[in-house]
Structure 1
Amino acid sequence: MSNLTISAGVAAGLIAFAVERGADRADLMASAGVLPADIEDADHRLPFDTYMALMRSAQDMCDDPALALHFGEAVDLAELSIVGLIMNASATMADAFAQMQRLGRLTLETEGLSDGPRFQTSMRDGQLWMVDTRINPNAFPELTEGAFARLVCGPRRFLPRPHVLAVQVTHPAPAYRAEYDRIFQCPVSFSSDWNAMRLDPQIATWPVALQPRYVFDVLTQRADGLLQALEDQKTLSGRVEAVLLPLLHTGEASADGVARALGFSRQTLFRKLKSEDASYEQVLDALRHRMALRYLSGGRVSVNETAYLVGFSEPAAFSRAFKRWTGKSPREVRLARAAG
């Protein structure tokens, strides 16, 4: 899952929820290697593995193995992602589902059985089902728990009657299975052959429109831009950045190490980057530039700390690089941000 990502809004939401339930914020973030600047922008991307680490640590700190269920039950998608806001502004449930299929990757990316959307509809024995098609779901069943609880509890707040009539999951029944019954309020089957929810056959026509159409249009334009940016990251340059990001502060962002992580030789990495009119040094330099600006603009990290976080062992070398990038010193940028 090394190339899969989640939105920072989802990570920030989980952190806030866990803190409300007793977790220590600093310890939780440190356990997953999350910096404050990483979650300031809800549309920023974090590695999917970071979310897994956050969830597992939060479960331990809150002494709540059902935390993913409770997170999905309590926190609406609109509080975490632009995708939830767009779904809430859709005209009908069918429109909302279409937007979830189209934009779902903006919330989090998963490995699916096909190149299509994660959630798809299917007919079985004359019944309508919404199916989660991700691969190896039992490796991280918390993702199923959170998604299903959110898809049940969010619409329940405004729909005229229950929209989910049955739930089936591939993982075995956990010790807290009573929480499934309480939250889903319908028959739940474990160790099934799929992860799916049976829907009311009339659900497609039920109205949503919790926000005006104008809001839908504005948010959709924003989401389209984010989706394009996410697609752009699927270039090799973007994949290199994804590998480099958690390594910057270690000072060990070598081309050999990145090539190994991507399954290439050093020479193959360089050749493939050249086909994108890029070099390894350019990708690393651009990432350091962007991350340095983000840290300094956040106003919570010193110049020396920023130098360390982006992989410079000497603050003087960082200052020279920053002056080359921006024409200004790091302190000038940080002071301008503080004055603003």
Structure 2
Amino acid sequence: MAQRTYEAGIVRGLFKFAVSQGADPQALATASGIVPEELEDPDRRVPFDAYVKLMRAAKTLTGDPALALRYAEHVDFSEISVVGLLTIASRTMQEAFDQMNRFGRLAVEVDGVGPAVDRFVLRREGDAVWLIDNRQGPNLFPELTETTFGRMACGPRRMGMIPFVLEVQVTHPDPGYPDDYQRVFQAPVVFGAERNALRLNPIFHDAPVAQLPGYVFGVLSDRAAALLQKLESAGTVRGRVEALLMPVLHRGDVSMDEVAGHLGVSRQTLFRKLKAEGVTFEKIYDDLRHRLALHYLANPKVSINETAYLVGFSEPAAFSRAFKRWTSLSPTAYRARQAVEA
């Protein structure tokens, strides 16, 4: 199975929001393994696990357990995602829902959803209309439910529409901040439910949106279609290997067999695919360690021993030897040179 990913804009949005709420940016980067500068590329994909680490680090560093809800409440989805732009360019809420289903994997890839399976379904149950999230294993990362449903509640409200969410059902237990749920959803919330679902005002289907000129919808749709095709092609094998290595690099014992297993191929097949791209597993592993070591050492708050651990070396001496091979400098000399040049 390929590594699930997030759209870089959403990750960048969370990073910046957490910093605005008091989180230390370097601590966020260190905890998540995310290099903030790389998030400036709007087409970049970020490993799902790295985003999970970022979210949890952000909650800890800000002291705000409801940060995921607050992120959805205060950061406009259209400012961080092409999918968000498409929804506000849609003519009606029904069309926005259709675009969200069509292109939602650009925002985030989740288990149980793919080209033939929609993430969201609308179901009429008696007089009620329910939007149901088909994501598998939602309680492993309930913050995704909070941000997803939070945006659905806050987005229309931000545009001056009438409230469409009449009831919220979530499968995770009560996390202990009911006032935040009430403020964001302004509707009854049922915790520990059998599904993740929103009961919607039945008139939402035909409610007009069109916050952008009509021609913009076509431009955005074409752009999203091209990005989705690229995503479905899974990009380069090297990129997929890097995405798997990034969140577990600190272990220092990730084998080619393990990565091949996550990709659903044999070790020999992975070797051949990487060879066709002119690279080896060992080269990818080494380059990733090199790049992240430079990033960590650029921050004086991260010690050399901590850097060694974060890039997977159990012994500082082994890290020092590798660093000299990469840069011809010891970690101490490199840090001193950076300080002079700063």
Fold match by TM threshold 0.5: yes
- Could you tell me how far 1:109 is from its partner in structure 2? 0.8
What is the distance in 1 between the residues matched to 2:163 and 2:209?
A: 14
SS of residue in 2 equivalent to 1:49: helix
Letter in 2 for 1:98: D
Residues 2 and 48, structure 1, Cα contact 8 Å, conserved in 2: no
SS of residue in 2 equivalent to 1:128: strand
Q: Which runs of 5+ in 2 are unaligned?
A: 293-297, 299-310, 312-321, 329-342
Residue 167 (1) aligns with residue 168 (2): yes
What is the distance in 1 between the residues matched to 2:240 and 2:265?
A: 12
Once structures 1 and 2 are overlaid, which stretch shifts more, 144-153 or 215-224?
A: 215-224
What is the distance in 1 between the residues matched to 2:280 and 2:103?
A: 27
What is the distance in 2 between the residues matched to 1:250 and 1:65?
A: 28
Residues 173 and 191, structure 1, Cα contact 8 Å, conserved in 2: yes
Residues 12 and 36, structure 2, Cα contact 8 Å, conserved in 1: no
Q: Which residue of 1 aligns with 2:55?
A: 55
Letter in 1 for 2:149: F
- Could you tell me how far 1:238 is from its partner in structure 2? 5.7
- Could you tell me how far 1:266 is from its partner in structure 2? 2.0
Once structures 1 and 2 are overlaid, which stretch shifts more, 110-119 or 185-194?
A: 110-119
Q: Which residue of 1 aligns with 2:12?
A: 12
1:177-233 CA-to-partner distances (Å, cap 9, x unmatched) read 121112111111111111100111111111111000121111111111111110111
SS of residue in 1 equivalent to 2:150: helix
Taking a change above 3 Å as real, the CA distance of residues 54 and 237 of structure 1, as seen in their structure-2 partners, is closer
Letter in 1 for 2:49: D
Once structures 1 and 2 are overlaid, which stretch shifts more, 88-97 or 247-256?
A: 247-256
Q: Which residue of 2 aligns with 1:89?
A: 89
What is the distance in 1 between the residues matched to 2:250 and 2:61?
A: 26
Taking a change above 3 Å as real, the CA distance of residues 134 and 314 of structure 1, as seen in their structure-2 partners, is same
1:10-49 CA-to-partner distances (Å, cap 9, x unmatched) read 1110011111111011111111011133211122101000
- Could you tell me how far 1:262 is from its partner in structure 2? 3.5
What is the distance in 1 between the residues matched to 2:170 and 2:195?
A: 6
Residues 90 and 209, structure 1, Cα contact 8 Å, conserved in 2: yes
What is the distance in 2 between the residues matched to 1:30 and 1:235?
A: 26
Q: Which residue of 2 aligns with 1:122?
A: 123
SS of residue in 2 equivalent to 1:23: coil
Taking a change above 3 Å as real, the CA distance of residues 258 and 212 of structure 1, as seen in their structure-2 partners, is same
Percent pairwise identity:
47
Bigger RCO (CA 8 Å, 6+ sep)? 2
Letter in 1 for 2:224: A
Normalised to the residue count of structure 1, the TM-score between the two structures is 0.77
What is the root-mean-square deviation of aligned Cα atoms in Å? 3.3
What is the distance in 2 between the residues matched to 1:193 and 1:176?
A: 21
- Could you tell me how far 1:270 is from its partner in structure 2? 4.1
What is the distance in 2 between the residues matched to 1:169 and 1:286?
A: 44
